[in-house]
Chain A
Amino acid sequence: MSDARIGTNADTDARERFGRRILILDTSIRVLYPSILVLALYFVFAGHNRPGGGFVGGLVVGAALALRYVSGGAAAVRSTFRLPPHVFLGIGLFMSSFTALLPLLLGGALLEHGEIEFHLPVFDEVKLTSTLSFDLGVDFVVIGLILMAFAAFGEDLPDAPDATDDNSDSVAATVRRGPGRMTR
């Protein structure tokens, strides 16, 4: 418990819930985190032909963020992206609706999709359809939603008593105060 009283409340609280810092967990997260992001990218890009898609891609990014939360608390999640959560939401919705509406401007039907094929050195023949940008929009909205959820519920109460004071029961007290604040 004494160890848990160092640092910010969020930090304390995260570790209080998930146990003390675990070296193996922290180290494996460092390896896993980028790999999971690559997996998420794969899901988004391959989604049209194989299992995956924008929604799943976003959720997988969310799972990666959850891992970061476990090791670093809400601050780690916040510092992951430069952009604030609502910008993700906005970009996502804009991309999807733009992709959906663009065909109307070009004289097509709503949500009509086009495709282009070209050769790349490593990937050989690549086929890109406009559904990809639609799916990316979905992906961004999901990521934004998860970031918002962490922003909303991930942090501890800012005006809660500082965990560094000598009240060893402070974390438990914070937890007990929770419901009252939630319903205020």
Chain B
Amino acid sequence: MFFLLVLHLVVGIGITAGGRALGRQAFLVAAIAPLATVVWAASKASSVLDDRPVTDSFAWVEQLGISIDLRLDAFALVMVALVSGIGLLICVYSLGYFSHDQPGQARLAGILTLFAGSMLGVVLSDHLIALFIFWELTSITSFLLIGNGDTNARARAAAMQAIFITGAGGLAMLAGLIIIGQAGGTYRISELVLDPPSGGAVNAGLVLVLIGAFTKSAQAPFSSWLPAAMVAPTPVSAYLHSATMVKAGVYLVARLAPMFAMTGSWRTLVLVVGATTMLVGGLRALRQHDLKLLLAYGTVSQLGFMMLLFGAGEYHIAEAGIVLILAHGAFKAALFMVVGIIDHETGTRDIRELHGFGSATGWRVVKVVTVVSAASMAGLPPLFGFIAKEKALDGYLEHGDFAGGTAALVVIVLASILTFAYSARFVLGVLGVFGEPNREVMSVGAHSPSVLFAGPAVVLSIATVLFGLAPVLVDGVIEAATITLFPGSEPKPVELFAGFNTALLLSMVIIGCGVGLTLLRRPVADVQSRASAGLRAVPSTEQGYLAVLRSISVVATRVTATVQNGSLPIYLAVIVLTVTLVPLAAFASELDELPQFIETPTHVALVAVMIAAGLGACIVRHRIAAALMLGAVGYAMAGLYVAQGAPDLALTQFSIETLSTVLFVLVLRFLPRSWRHHAPAIAAPMRIAVAGAVGVAVFVFALSASNARSDVDEPSMSEVMIENSLPKGKGSNVVNVILVDFRGWDTMGEITVLLVAAIGAVSLARPGRRRDETGAPVFEEILDVGDEPKLPEALR
């Protein structure tokens, strides 16, 4: 199973990196991955449906118990069929949609394949952390796909919005998944389902997970990114934003609901959010003129419907959810494809600009596809969508005896009436009923779509009709998937006609009201627009998103203005006080006895020089004089090393001190000769206090560090090194042996730092001085000596 993910990765990266020459043929190459997946899944189907899941595992971060555990059970099989089946059709459809080679198509095909692989990972993962990783990968690839038209500011904004919202939800979800995994003692879904954890922490974790699922599946109030994402090319919208990715949240809820529906506020939260989303999505879909936006809001509404079905955690209802996932995938992808065809051939998606199409065969086929798929969405018999709706109504009627069950049923009926109405609006729009006479007629006589272009939608429509007429074809899969979700359950068979029951009556009511709403569409639209004028006062989710963005930016600006105020003295004071005062207490507590400070008279003289030079550096007003004084401190320090019998240290100290003084002087040439004191009067005492604190801290640190190992029994490290220097390090200079051998790896690091520092110093010092004609800093000149070094006049 793992090889399928790798195949997606390889094909995706291959096309993205080197597929430019392929042009639109890249989609053909991209089709390899979903095709292989479909074939593989079909070959495993019989054993999976026989309750023998296929598993595969790849150790990843073993220390943390994180592995990529893959598991193909019956529910995953349903999702794989959706992801890879529709993925395959989308690849074919893209060949028709991108009828002319354009830059960026190969990249689109590549990222689409990467997305398909990530989505496959989501539905196959049995490990919560692996699921999260693939989940985020779908967010990232979705971001890239929405923003594919990277020169379009709207596309970029929509891509940002999508990744902000789903990314934030994903982070909340990660926290939730970790809480659940820790509480349950395992991160494997197949083990959690047998023994689900509970408790206060788990409740909180579930809320976090639900936030992630809601953002991904565009539930209220996080739904604004989905309509905005419609700026993506239609194949992308059809694939990600209707059939697959947005179902990831639903998928997760479906997986977790059987374990946690009774825990904490799960059911209340899911039912309220799902119901709100379903109603609001339906109402907004009814007001759209753009066919694609109409479908987008319709998708939001249907996702709310799925939440209501899966979130209840009741297997009869969840079984309806599985039927709906499949039915929705088929009709919504087909409808999106129709929108793409219309957009591609006529250049518009606005129903006010469509005036019907000619009688060419291609357009007739498109119309049939439209009517069949929209009828399935509306829930008309004998189509697949009707079965889903029927099962949902029946499930809530017979088994919705939990708190809020009846309310959910009412919402489903109301929203289904709306669904009927916007489905009808879509069909009438395509047929040209809303075409306004004063708008330019663009659709009549439009070029009819090619077989390749219309074919995938036809295939999906055939599935819609076939599974509607003969649900026995999918009955086995759906029942097995239900049993996977709810071990030990006994799902009812999926049937087109389940007898004259209340559900059928409700379906008739829905259809009747829907027809009424369609016939009265003008007055309804008036009422809606008047009501929406009143609703303007309530901020929409879109406005909420913008407000959040603005407040983040305001807070960031204020925090930065406070923390990064630009005053070097304050930065310095904060840094040195932190590094000195924080460890000071710990060091001071270790300090038990003071060593003998003066061993030879030389010490007194050297220290006197150091103190004098140090004070002098503080007092003198010339910068270069101060630098020289600091050099004197360093030389006296080197003298101290000599007095203590460390010639190596002394030698290094002398050389370092010499060179740093020279470099100091080189840099100070660019600064004024002396300081001018503009600082307020309080600055001087504060500086003295800070400097004093640093001095005391370093003093205490040195004392306690030299005593640190005195009470440890082990032989001191320095003695070990001195003993081993000659026999093991082959050198009698122990300092050098430490540098090149015992601690050679440190030296490697240090010289690397030196190298980086050298390049850094040059780039800091020079680019400001030399710029090329475009104003960009010239760096090469600094690094090269140049062919003719300029000799000073005196040396020529």
Asked whether A56 is an interface residue with its Cβ less than 8 Å from the other chain, the reply is yes
Interface pair A52/B733, CB less than 8 Å apart: yes
Contact with A along B634-677 (1 / 0, CB 8 A): 00000000000001100110011011001101110111110000
Interface pair A129/B730, CB less than 8 Å apart: yes
Interface pair A11/B739, CB less than 8 Å apart: no
Interface pair B791/A79, CB less than 8 Å apart: yes
Which of A17, A69, A72, A178 has a CB less than 8 Å from the CB of B795? A72
Q: Which of A61-107 contact B (CB under 8 A)?
A: 62-63, 66, 69, 72-73, 75-76, 78-79, 83-86, 89, 92-93, 96-97, 100
Asked whether A151 is an interface residue with its Cβ less than 8 Å from the other chain, the reply is yes
Asked whether B762 is an interface residue with its Cβ less than 8 Å from the other chain, the reply is yes
Nearest to A146 among chain B residues (CB) is B659
* Known contacts A49-B731, A175-B673; A62/B659 CB under 8 A: yes
Interface pair A152/B793, CB less than 8 Å apart: no
The residues of A that contact B544 with a CB separation of less than 8 Å are none
Measured in the bound complex, the distance between the Cα atoms of B173 and A23 in whole Å is 77
* Known contacts A182-B768, A184-B768; A152/B782 CB under 8 A: yes
Interface size for A (C-beta < 8 A) is 75
Which of A8, A49, A157 has a CB less than 8 Å from the CB of B790? A8
The residues of B that contact A134 with a CB separation of less than 8 Å are 740, 744, 747
Q: Which of B522-537 contact A (CB under 8 A)?
A: none
* Known contacts A49-B731, A63-B658; A131/B671 CB under 8 A: no
> Which segment of B292-300, B382-390, B753-761 sits at the interface?
B753-761
Which of B652, B731, B758, B769 has a CB less than 8 Å from the CB of A144? B758
Interface pair A6/B740, CB less than 8 Å apart: no
The residues of B that contact A154 with a CB separation of less than 8 Å are 666
Interface pair A48/B785, CB less than 8 Å apart: no
Measured in the bound complex, the distance between the Cα atoms of B740 and A56 in whole Å is 13
Q: From residue B747, how far is it (CB to closest CB) to chain A in Å?
A: 6
Asked whether A125 is an interface residue with its Cβ less than 8 Å from the other chain, the reply is no
The residues of B that contact A182 with a CB separation of less than 8 Å are 670-671, 765, 768
Q: Which of B670-713 contact A (CB under 8 A)?
A: 670-673
Measured in the bound complex, the distance between the Cα atoms of B737 and A92 in whole Å is 19
Interface pair A89/B739, CB less than 8 Å apart: no
Asked whether B735 is an interface residue with its Cβ less than 8 Å from the other chain, the reply is yes
Interface pair B655/A93, CB less than 8 Å apart: no
Interface size class of B (residues with CB under 8 A): 35 or more
Interface pair B735/A53, CB less than 8 Å apart: yes
Q: From residue A126, how far is it (CB to closest CB) to chain B in Å?
A: 13
* Known contacts A17-B669, A55-B739, A179-B670; A159/B792 CB under 8 A: no
Interface residue SS majority, chain B: helix
Q: Which of B557-595 contact A (CB under 8 A)?
A: none
Interface pair B765/A78, CB less than 8 Å apart: no
The residues of B that contact A158 with a CB separation of less than 8 Å are 769-770
Interface pair A13/B655, CB less than 8 Å apart: no
Asked whether B61 is an interface residue with its Cβ less than 8 Å from the other chain, the reply is no
Interface pair A8/B792, CB less than 8 Å apart: yes
* Known contacts A100-B744, A115-B730, A158-B769; A144/B755 CB under 8 A: yes
Interface pair B751/A113, CB less than 8 Å apart: no
Q: Which of A150-168 contact B (CB under 8 A)?
A: 150-154, 157-159
Asked whether B402 is an interface residue with its Cβ less than 8 Å from the other chain, the reply is no
Asked whether A121 is an interface residue with its Cβ less than 8 Å from the other chain, the reply is no
Residue among A137, A149, A152, A182 having the largest count of chain B Cβ atoms under 10 Å: A152
Nearest to A156 among chain B residues (CB) is B669
Measured in the bound complex, the distance between the Cα atoms of B674 and A63 in whole Å is 26
Measured in the bound complex, the distance between the Cα atoms of B741 and A110 in whole Å is 10
Q: Which of A15-70 contact B (CB under 8 A)?
A: 17, 21, 43, 47-56, 59-60, 62-63, 66, 69
The residues of A that contact B724 with a CB separation of less than 8 Å are none
The residues of A that contact B752 with a CB separation of less than 8 Å are 93
* Known contacts A53-B739, A55-B739; A145/B731 CB under 8 A: no
Interface pair B793/A78, CB less than 8 Å apart: no
Asked whether A119 is an interface residue with its Cβ less than 8 Å from the other chain, the reply is no
Asked whether B766 is an interface residue with its Cβ less than 8 Å from the other chain, the reply is yes
* Known contacts A63-B658, A158-B769; A148/B791 CB under 8 A: no
Interface pair B730/A48, CB less than 8 Å apart: yes
Interface pair B736/A96, CB less than 8 Å apart: no
Interface pair A97/B748, CB less than 8 Å apart: yes
Interface pair A96/B748, CB less than 8 Å apart: yes
Q: From residue A22, how far is it (CB to closest CB) to chain B in Å?
A: 12
Asked whether A7 is an interface residue with its Cβ less than 8 Å from the other chain, the reply is yes
Interface pair A56/B737, CB less than 8 Å apart: no
Asked whether B745 is an interface residue with its Cβ less than 8 Å from the other chain, the reply is yes
The residues of B that contact A75 with a CB separation of less than 8 Å are 789-792, 795
Measured in the bound complex, the distance between the Cα atoms of B648 and A131 in whole Å is 17
Measured in the bound complex, the distance between the Cα atoms of B737 and A33 in whole Å is 29
Interface pair A148/B733, CB less than 8 Å apart: no
Interface pair A85/B790, CB less than 8 Å apart: no
Which of A47, A148, A179 has a CB less than 8 Å from the CB of B736? A47
Asked whether B794 is an interface residue with its Cβ less than 8 Å from the other chain, the reply is yes
Q: From residue A63, how far is it (CB to closest CB) to chain B in Å?
A: 5
Asked whether B784 is an interface residue with its Cβ less than 8 Å from the other chain, the reply is yes
The residues of A that contact B672 with a CB separation of less than 8 Å are 175-176, 178-179
The residues of B that contact A111 with a CB separation of less than 8 Å are 741, 744-745
Measured in the bound complex, the distance between the Cα atoms of B730 and A127 in whole Å is 10
Measured in the bound complex, the distance between the Cα atoms of B553 and A62 in whole Å is 49
Interface pair A135/B736, CB less than 8 Å apart: yes
Q: From residue A113, how far is it (CB to closest CB) to chain B in Å?
A: 6
Q: From residue A26, how far is it (CB to closest CB) to chain B in Å?
A: 9
Interface pair A51/B647, CB less than 8 Å apart: yes
Interface pair A6/B762, CB less than 8 Å apart: no
Residue among B658, B730, B792, B795 having the largest count of chain A Cβ atoms under 10 Å: B792
Interface pair B658/A149, CB less than 8 Å apart: no
Nearest to A63 among chain B residues (CB) is B658
Q: From residue A39, how far is it (CB to closest CB) to chain B in Å?
A: 11
Measured in the bound complex, the distance between the Cα atoms of B748 and A86 in whole Å is 17
Asked whether B783 is an interface residue with its Cβ less than 8 Å from the other chain, the reply is yes
The residues of B that contact A151 with a CB separation of less than 8 Å are 762, 782
Q: From residue A128, how far is it (CB to closest CB) to chain B in Å?
A: 10
Asked whether B732 is an interface residue with its Cβ less than 8 Å from the other chain, the reply is yes
The residues of A that contact B761 with a CB separation of less than 8 Å are 148-149, 152-153
12 residue pairs bridging A and B, Cβ less than 8 Å apart: A8-B793, A48-B733, A54-B740, A55-B652, A62-B658, A76-B795, A85-B758, A96-B748, A96-B751, A129-B730, A135-B736, A138-B739
New A-B contacts (9) at CB < 8 Å, excluding given A75-B789, A111-B745, A148-B762: A17-B665, A52-B736, A59-B655, A79-B789, A100-B748, A142-B754, A144-B758, A152-B765, A152-B782
Q: 4 smallest A-B Cβ distances: which pairs?
A: A178-B670, A59-B655, A7-B793, A11-B792
